[in-house]
Amino acid sequence: SAVISQKPSRDICQRGTSLTIQCQVDSQVTMMFWYRQQPGQSLTLIATANQGSEATYESGFVIDKFPISRPNLTFSTLTVSNLSPEDSSIYLCSVSFRLRANTEAFFGQGTRLTVV
Amino acid sequence: GQQVMQIPQYQHVQEGEDFTTYCNSSTTLSNIQWYKQRPGGHPVFLIQLVKSGEVKKQKRLTFQFGEAKKNSSLHITATQTTDVGTYFCAGANHAGGTSYGKLTFGQGTILTVHP
């Protein structure tokens, strides 16, 4: 298993600003992902955070809006840029271990973002 | 792209009644996983199904994976108030070997249990 520390747990931001979310894992993990969960909705994958290289983004998500860093195997950041009220969501960091083909995902506590 | 549909969206039951949620994928899955999210919490892994036709049980919870590996169900027998939350299925497709760990989540079923 993995213990994931995600910060901040919540924030209220002004439109036009940016918020950077940190995800720290207590062990080295192969795969790190960032999801968005809009109020009352399901989880949508934003991107896969690749260690030492550019993140892989899902359709509808772009690097300029959601820049991601992953400097090592235990840490990643997601920045939500040029905030608008539509960005108000919960953002979740997720990790899994590629020790075998089929593995479960572990989630951070989430960051609840409100844009005003 | 891959889509995972989950029904029903909501389910209200009396304590002691049974509950079932269903998932259907647009593509054949490598595995399907189930998660529970309590109100205000984050998704927590419940189980993973890998084999065609697989059935797994955890106490009052029974999970099934369809023969075609495209559908799945979660059944809870005799619900309790502690079962309240949103249940998500999440499908994984490892075709090509490049998508390990990526999950496509269903819409979730919100379960409320009345005492």
Residues of B in contact with A92 (CB under 8 A): 42-43
Confidence of residue B1 (pLDDT cuts 50, 70, 90): confident
Of the candidates A42, A102, A110, which has its C-beta nearest B48's C-beta?
A: A102
> What's the topology of domain B4-114?
Immunoglobulin-like (2.60.40)
Residue of B nearest to A46 (CA): B102
Strand partners, A20: A79
Q: What are the domain boundaries of chain B?
A: 4-114
Ordered strands of the B71-76 beta sheet: B4-7, B19-25, B71-76, B61-65, B55-58
Confidence of residue B2 (pLDDT cuts 50, 70, 90): confident
- Asked if the structure places residue A107 within a domain, the reply is no
Does A66 or A29 have the greater pLDDT score?
Answer: A66
Q: In total, how many domains does chain A have?
A: 1
CA A11 to chain centre: 15
- The closest alpha carbon to B77, from B62, B99, B94, B96, belongs to B62
- Over residues A16-44, the pLDDT tens digits come to 999 999 999 999 888 899 999 998 899 99
- The CATH number of the domain holding residue A16 is 2.60.40.10
Query: Which pLDDT does position A2 carry in this prediction?
Result: 82
pLDDT for A103 beyond 70: yes
Q: How many CB pairs under 8 A join A and B?
A: 63
Q: What is the least distance, in Å, from the CA of A110 to any CA of chain B?
A: 7
Q: What is the least distance, in Å, from the CA of B114 to any CA of chain A?
A: 20
Subunit contact B30:A102, Cβ cutoff 8 A: yes
Query: In the structure encoding, which two tokens stand for residue A81, read together?
Result: 């840029």
Section B78-97 average pLDDT:
90
Confidence of residue B99 (pLDDT cuts 50, 70, 90): low
Cβ–Cβ contact A42 with B under 8 A: yes
- Asked if the structure places residue A73 within a domain, the reply is yes
Q: Which structural domain range is residue A32 located in?
A: 4-100
Cβ–Cβ contact A96 with B under 8 A: yes
- Asked if the structure places residue A110 within a domain, the reply is no
Give the amino acid at B20: T
